[in-house]
Structure 1
Amino acid sequence: MATDLPRVSVQDVLNCSFSVWYPIFAKYSIKSVILNLTDDVLEYLRSDEFYLPMSANEAMDNMRQINAETSDEDDPWPDEDTCDDTTKKISFPELEQNIKNVLDEYNAVFPKLNWSSAKDARWMISDSRLKCMNLADIFLLLKSSDFIAHDLCEPFKFCYDATDDYLPIIQYVLVLREWSALQPSKEFRCFVKNNQIVAISQRDSENYYEFIGATADQIVSNIVAFFHNNIQNKFPSTDFVIDIYRKDSNKLYIIDFNPWGPMTDSLLFDWPDLVNLSLQNNNDEPEFRYVNSQHGIKPNSYTQYAMPKDIADISRERDINKLVDVLSSQIQVQNKNADSDNDRNLAGKKKRILSGTNDLNKKPIKLLIKNYSNKLVQETSIEKLFRLDMSKRFYETTAHSDFYAQCRPTYPPDVMKKILDYLFLKYSRKDDDLVIDIGCGTGQSTILLAPHFQRIIGYDISEYQVKKANETNTHSNINYKVIVGSDIPHEDSSVALVISAQAAHWFDLPYFYKEVKRTLTIKGVLALFGYAFVQVHGQQSEKLNEIITNFYKKTLRGYVQKESEEVYFGRYRDEKFRDPLSSTDFIRDENLVIECRWSIQRLLGYIASWSGSQHFLRQHPTSTVFHDLNLEIFKCLDIFDDEYELDLSFDIFILMNRKTE
C-alpha cells in the first residue's frame, strides 16, 4: 500500500519562521539580526516591477565607479541614467539605515526572510555564496528570487488547513546573518519525528566528500548528542527538519528549521522512506545517508535557477555591447508592461513564482546589464610569481581569464585519485590537513581537491585569474588568493600536499623546490601534472594533427616560449623536474588521458588561449592567422560549420615526490 505524505499544518510552518525559533536557540546558532518589514516594504517586494531603492542604486553606482577608476576601458554606462524618467524613486530610510548598521557591525551578511534565502538568484551578485556587503546586493537578491516570492505570496502552499486569512497576520522579517564561509561538506539535514531523529542526510548531496564515509559513525554520534542536549523537546513542534553544521566533533551549530513535509527537500531520502522510518522503533540509531562515491552524486538542484540562457550564451562571447543591445530591447518590453503588471492582484502576483523559467521579462534587466559590465572591468596586476618574468605573463585581464577558463580541457577525477593514493601510502590523514595549489589559474585543478580536504588554498600571480576563480567558486573549503613574491606564504612543515597543474614550467624551479621542501610536512607530497599537445582522432585526423602542429611550431615560431614546449612535448621529462625532494621516493605516471568532444569553435578558442598565441596577438592584433587556420580546418574536413565536433585527447603526465626528511 502506498505511503501517505506527511500532513503539514499552518502552525508547523509558522513554528519554523526564523523569528520564532532563533530566540530559543540563538546561543547554538550563527549570530543574526532580525529586522521587521513594514507594509510598504512588503508591497515593494511583492511588486512585479523591478527597481531598487535609491540608496541601493547609489551603492551599485559607487561600486561601478571604483571599478572604472582602475580600468583603462571606457565605461559603457553614461553618468546619467537614460531611464531616469521611467525609473521609480523609492526609499525605506529606517530599514536601509538598520541594514547599514548591521553591515557596519558584521562587514558582510547572508540575507533571508522568515523561511527562505535567495539561493535561486545567487547569479545576480558577484559572490555566488550570497555574501552581501552592501544594500545593492541585498535588494538585488530579494527582488530577483522566486524563493523569496514564495515566502511572500504562498508560504502555506502545502498546508492542509491553509486559508487566505493567515497571510495578512504574518510578521515578515528580514534576517541578516553574520557572514561565515561555511563548508557545505559539514552540514547535515536531520529529520525529526516525535522529537526523535529518525534520519540524517548529507546536506550537499551534489558532491562526494571522502572524509564523510570515513567518519560516519562519529558524525551521527555527535549530531545525536547535540540534539538530545540542546534541541529535543524545546522546539514548538514535535515533527520537524533541522539543518546542523558540524564544524568539528565538539562544535555544532543550528543553521535552520524546516517543516516535516513535502515543501522541505528530502535530499538523499524520499518522503515515503522517511514516513516508514518514523513508524519503526524510534530508539534505534537514525539512518545516515551520504554520497559514497563520485557515481552517487545527484544533479544540482539549483541548475534550473541558473543565469538565463539568453544571457549566458551572449556572455560567452564577452561582447558587452551585444549584451547591452539585446537586453535593452527587453527593457522596452518590460517598461511597456509595467503599468499592467502593477494592476495585478495578489493572486496574479503568485504567478511570479515561475520555478526556474528563464523569462527575461521577469528579470531585473537594467541592473543585470550594469552588474554584468562590472564583471568585465580590468584591475591592477602583480609583478612576480617565483621570479616569473613579465614577458611570460599572459592572463592579465579579466577577458583573458574568462577565455582561459572556458577553453581549457578538464582533468578527470582519476588524476587526484592517483595523487592521493601516493600521498596516503605513507602519510596519515588529519582533519585539518592543509593543501595548496600553486599556479591555480581559474581553479580547474584546485576543485579536484574539494571532496578530499577541508582546507584548500589556490594561489596564482594573476589577479584576474584569482578573481574569476572566486566568482565561480562554489566550494567553501577552497579559498583563492593572489601570491606576491617568491615565497610560499606558509610556515615550515605546515602543508600536507602541494600540487601544480600545467604551471611548473614557468617557475624558477630551484627556488620553488626550496620553498616546497620548507613548507611540506614530513611524508607530505609535491605533485606536478599537466597534459601534452592536443591530438585529433577520427576523420582526417592525421592531416588535422599536422595542421595544428604546424600552426604551433611554424606560425607561432618565435612567440612560443621553450617553457611551453617543455610541457606540451617534453612532458616534464627534463632532468630539472626530477627528484626535487627525494630521489628514492619519486613516481612518474603517464597512464591517464583526457578524452573530449569539442566543436571546431572551442578548439580554436583553446588554441587562441595558448601563451604563444596570446603573445602573437599582442604583437599583431590585426593578423588573420586564426581565421586562416579556421578555413584550413574547414577545407580539410570539407565542411563550413564551426559547430562541427571533433574527438580529441590530451595525454596526462603526473610527477609525484615525497618529502622524506
Structure 2
Amino acid sequence: MAVRLFEGKDHATAYLHYRVAPQELISTVMNFMEKKTPKPFNLALDVGCGSGQGTKLLAPYFTKVVGTDISPAQIEMAQVNNNPPNVSYRQSPAEELPFAAGEVDLLSAMTAAHWFDHQRFLKEADRVLKPGGCLALLSYSMDMELEYGDVSSILNDICKEFYAALLPFRDPYIGKSSAKIYLDMYNSCTYPDKEWNECLWIKKTVPLSHYIGMVETFSSYQKLKQEDPAEAERLSNHIRNKLMSAMHVSSPETEVTMFVHYFYWLACKP
C-alpha cells in the first residue's frame, strides 16, 4: 500500500462495527460480471478488505473468496467476523498480491483503492486477473446525509459542520476528492470494456450513534484524534448533541435514515 492507515486494533474494531458494504453494489458488480465472464466463478479477491464486511458478501457467487489487507489488526478482525466456509484472509500489500498470473475471476477493492499506489496496483490487478475476469473498484464520499421527519435539512447542515471541521485533517494523498482518484484510475485502465458511475445513493436505517461512529472511523477524524484526543471527543459530542436537539430526542440510539453517496467503476480484462 502507498499509505498505511487503519492499523490500530481499536480502529480496526470500530471499522468492523460501523463500516458498511451494501448488497446493492455487490449485485451491480455481479450483474456486470455475469454478462462478461464465463461461469463457473472460482476465485474472488477482495483487496484492502479491512474487517471483511464486503468480502463476505461475495461468498454466494464464488467457489473461493480471499480478502487481503496490509494491516494485521484488520485481518484479525476479519477472521473473527463469522465468515462463510469459503472465505479466508491473507495479509498482503495491494501491489504485491500472493496469487499466480491469470488466477482471479474477480478483483474488487471496496473503499480502499485510493490508498494504494494506483499504477502499481492496476498493473498487479492485470497480472492476477484471468482473461475475461473483472475488476471492480468501489468507494463513497464523506458527504453522507441524514433523514429524520421534517428536520432533515437541519440535520444535514449539522453534518456539513462535522465534515468541515474534519477537512483540515484530510490526508493530502487523497486530496479534496477521492472520486477524482478513481476517475483517474478508470481513465488510465486500458481495458476497452469498462463502466464508470459517479453517483449511486444507498440508504440504510441506523441508530444516530452508528452515523457518528462511522464518521469517527474516517482517516481525517482519526488524525484529529491522534493529534488532539480531547478536541476529537468534544467535536463528536457537540455534533451528536446538536443532532439530537434538532431531532427532539434524548437517545443517540434513535434511528435515522443515512444516505451514502457511492461511486464505482467496473472493467473486464480482454
TM-score using structure 2 length? 0.90
Paired letter, 1:479: S
Q: Is the 8 A contact 2:59 2:87 kept in 1?
A: yes
Q: In structure 1, how many angstroms separate the alpha carbons of the residues matched to 2:269 and 2:139?
A: 21
* 1:465-614 map, 5 Å: 465-484=74-93, 486-532=95-141, 533-538=143-148, 539-553=150-164, 555-562=165-172, 563=174, 565-567=176-178, 570=179, 574-582=183-191, 584-589=192-197, 592-614=200-222
Partner of 1:639: 249
> Is the Cα contact below 8 Å between 1:461 and 1:484 reproduced in 2?
yes
Q: Does 1:450 align with 2:52?
A: no
The 5 A counterparts of 1:88-237 are none
| Correspondence 1:142-541 to 2 at 5 A | 385=1, 387-388=2-3, 390=4, 393=5, 395-412=6-23, 414-430=24-40, 433-484=42-93, 486-532=95-141, 533-538=143-148, 539-541=150-152
Aligned partner letter, 2:154: K
Answer yes or no: is the 8 Å Cα contact 2:95–2:116 preserved in 1: no
Which of structures 1 and 2 has the bigger CA Rg? 1
- TM (norm. structure 1) is 0.38
Tell me, yes or no, if the aligned pair for 1:579 and 1:586 is still in contact at 8 Å: no
Residues 1:430 and 1:581: Cα distance change in structure 2 (over 3 Å): farther
Cα distance in 1 for partners of 2:95, 2:181 equals 22
Which blocks of at least 5 consecutive residues in structure 1 are unaligned? 1-384
Q: Which residue, 612, 626, 636 being the options, matches 2:236?
A: 626
Secondary structure, in 3 states, of the residue corresponding to 1:561? coil
Amino acid paired to 2:12? S
> Quick check: 2:47–2:107 contact (8 Å CA) kept in 1?
yes
SS at match of 1:420: helix
Cα 1:545–1:571 change in 2 (3 A) is: farther
Aligned residues: 265
Q: Give yes or no for contact 1:436–1:497 (8 Å, CA) kept in 2.
A: yes
SS, match of residue 256 in structure 2 = strand
- The one-letter code of the counterpart of 1:588 is W
Look up the SS of the partner of 1:556 in the other structure: helix
Change (3 A) 1:397 1:425: same
Q: Distance in 2 between matches of 1:591 and 1:609?
A: 22
Q: Deviations over 1:396-442 (max 9, x none)?
A: 22222111111123412x322221222232321236x2210001011
Task: Classify 1:440/1:564 alpha carbon distance in 2 versus 1 (closer, same or farther; 3 Å).
Answer: farther
Deviation per CA, 1:570-621: give whole Å up to 9, x if none: 3756333335141x21112457532212222221111111111111001101
1:447 offset after TM fit, Å? Answer: 1.0
Which is richer in strand?
A: 2
1:659 matched to 2:244? The reply is no
Determine if contact 2:68/2:93 at 8 Å carries over to the other structure. Answer: no
Q: Which amino acid aligns with 2:73?
A: Y
Q: What do you get for the CA RMSD once the two structures are aligned?
A: 2.1
